[in-house]
């Protein structure tokens, strides 16, 4: 089931890139390489164990842009990931303390607390040290990428993002 879900999302992502080759950039290229690596891992898993029903995965999405939140929600739901969407990073911090998530998707520029600060706090929580954190941002310069890594983030995805890229990348990090 994991392989089928991921393959479906990956196929849609490839079709998007085929239709609009101008969207190929360093981020989408990394996603392609990572996706092929994950397919190999999933094939190994399928050969080594019996199939089990896939549990529902959860994601905490934090962005003060309501439109971006709707797009991320749609993208995650395509991957059968249940999103909790919050526009206030302080509310997100409370939510992260109360429950475990399989994925965090954070905007960088938010009022009250930026995504890098929130990520550092999330990393301090028991059970969240290895939970994947994706940053969605228009800041793609070297300094932002460095801050992303230093705060504990796994990936920085450029805005505007492709819906299927986020679907593939979310599954990629959860299923690893």
pLDDT, tens digit, for every residue of 21-30? 999 999 999 9
pLDDT band for position 50 (cuts 50, 70, 90): very low
Per-residue confidence (pLDDT) for residue 62, from 0 to 100: 97
**Which residue ranges make up each domain of the chain?**
2-175
Tell me the DSSP string of the chain.
-HHHHHHHHHHHHHHHHHH-GGG--HHHHHHHHHHHHHHHHHHHHHHHS---PPPPEEEEEE-S-HHHHHHHHHHHHHTTEEEEEES-HHHHHHHHHHS--SEEEEES--SSS-HHHHHHHHHTSTT-SSS-EEEEES--SHHHHHHHHHHT-SEEEESSPPHHHHHHHHHHHHH-
Is the pTM value of this prediction over 0.95? Answer: no
Percent of the chain with pLDDT over 70: 94
**What average pLDDT score do residues 120-147 get?**
88
Q: Is the pLDDT of residue 48 over 70?
A: no
For the segment 74-80, the average pLDDT, to the nearest whole number, is 90
Band of the pLDDT at 1, cuts 50, 70, 90? low
Distance CA(12)–CA(169), nearest Å, equals 13
- pLDDT confidence of 142, banded at 50, 70, 90? confident
Report the CATH fold assignment for 2-175. Rossmann fold (3.40.50)
Q: Taking a C-beta distance cutoff of 8 angstroms, is the pair 117, 93 a contact?
A: no
């Amino acid at each position: 089931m994991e392989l089928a879900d991921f393959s479906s999302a990956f196929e849609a992502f490839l079709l998007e890139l085929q239709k609009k080759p101008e969207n190929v950039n360093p981020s989408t290229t990394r996603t392609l390489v990572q996706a092929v690596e994950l397919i190999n891992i999933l094939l190994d898993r399928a050969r080594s164990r019996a199939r089990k029903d896939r549990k529902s995965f959860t994601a905490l999405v934090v962005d003060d842009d309501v439109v971006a939140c709707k797009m991320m929600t749609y993208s995650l739901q395509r991957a059968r990931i249940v999103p909790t969407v919050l526009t206030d990073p302080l509310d997100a911090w409370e939510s992260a303390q109360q429950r475990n998530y399989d994925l965090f998707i954070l905007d960088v520029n938010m009022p009250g607390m930026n995504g890098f600060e929130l990520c550092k706090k999330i990393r301090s929580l028991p059970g969240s040290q290895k939970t994947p954190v994706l940053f969605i941002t228009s800041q793609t310069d070297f300094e932002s990428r460095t801050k992303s890594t230093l705060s504990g983030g796994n990936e920085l995805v450029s805005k505007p993002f492709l819906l299927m890229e986020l679907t593939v990348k979310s599954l990629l990090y959860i299923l690893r």
